[in-house]
Amino acid sequence: MDKNFDDLQQKLEVKFKNKNLLKQAFVHRSYLNENPAFELGHNERLEYLGDAVLELAVTEYLFRNYPDLAEGEMTNLRAALVNTQMLSKIADRLGFNDFLYLSKGEAKENGRGRQYILANTFEAFTGALFLDQNYKAAENFIYKNLIPELQDIIDKKLWRDSKSLFQEAAQERAGITPTYEVLKESGPDHAKKFVVGVYLGKELVAQGEGSSKNEAQQQAAENALKVKNWR
């Protein structure tokens, strides 16, 4: 299952010195379960590193370019820019789907599960680029492919915290403070998935899914705002 990473490098305008590092960024754990003799490990350590590089690059950009924003506002903007939905959208646009090493089962998954894999691969690629070259190369990649989404987030007020928005609306319109409950928890420790329900009293308004309880709560609140038409 050989893939031509030269095409991807040309598209991204990057050139890796260590081609195995680039390749490893696309290896999902599930692929190794079916191909234990594969010459490389999975991408989870690279993902861990890339997550930190990504957070630093976005934080520094916001700090330097938005001097009037308070800490909380920068945190919300950053969260809107580096969440699973956004990173998976960018990874898909960059053609990462064509280079993933997945198990046969995961290869058939095109829903929320694929979103997680793509978002994690974006982080792993960022980590691999940092290791292969330097922070500046990783920063340039982030600035070129991710930062342009920031203006749309600001224009559409997508940076507003969904939980806060739903709580404000619920208290104002229904006189109730929303509560959240974990409905389902699955996956191994390194790749947990949570399904959370948001309630108004005993009414289950909406559900959300995420790789952390907070992400699932935010998604549930976002869905609840749509259900109630409280945007």
CA dist 29 and 36 (Å) reads: 10
Give the residue from 155, 171, 197 where a domain finishes: 155
CA dist 2 and 99 (Å) reads: 9
Pair 146, 182 in one domain: no
Per annotation, catalytic residue among 47, 106, 123, 209: 123
Pair 98, 210 in one domain: no
Pair 71, 128 in one domain: yes
Pair 28, 123 in one domain: yes
Asked if residues 49 and 63 have their Cβ atoms less than 8 Å apart, the reply is no
CA dist 210 and 212 (Å) reads: 5
Domain CATH code at residue 97: 1.10.1520.10
Pair 109, 45 in one domain: yes
- Would you tell me how many other CB atoms lie within 10 Å of the CB of residue 185? 12
pLDDT for res 161? 74
51 in catalytic set: yes
Domain CATH code at residue 195: 3.30.160.20
CA dist 48 and 50 (Å) reads: 6
The half-sphere exposure of 19 on its side-chain side, counting CA atoms within 13 A, is 9
Pair 113, 207 in one domain: no
Domain limits for position 194: 162-228
| Low-confidence residues of the chain: pLDDT under 50 | none
Pair 147, 175 in one domain: no
pLDDT for res 13? 92
pLDDT for res 129? 97
Give the residue from 155, 187, 214 where a domain finishes: 155
* Three-point CA angle 107, 187, 142, nearest 5°: 65
Interstrand relation of 203-210 and 193-200 (parallel, antiparallel or unpaired) = antiparallel
Condensed to tens digits (0 to 9), the pLDDT of residues 109-140 reads: 777 778 889 999 999 999 999 999 999 999 99
pLDDT for res 222? 87
Pair 27, 42 in one domain: yes
Per annotation, catalytic residue among 2, 6, 44, 51: 51
Pair 185, 113 in one domain: no
Pair 115, 195 in one domain: no
Pair 149, 217 in one domain: no
DSSP string, 44-101: HHHHHHHHHHHHHHHHHHHHHH-TT--HHHHHHHHHHHSSHHHHHHHHHHTTGGGG-B
Q: How many domains does the chain have?
A: 2
Condensed to tens digits (0 to 9), the pLDDT of residues 62-89 reads: 999 999 988 888 888 898 899 888 999 9
pLDDT for res 187? 84
Pair 40, 19 in one domain: yes
Give the residue from 133, 155, 177 where a domain finishes: 155
CB contact burial 186-224 (16+ within 10 A = b; e otherwise)? eeeeebebbbbbbbbeeeebbbbbbbeeebbbbbbbbbb
pLDDT for res 168? 87
pLDDT for res 113? 78
Asked if residues 182 and 194 have their Cβ atoms less than 8 Å apart, the reply is yes
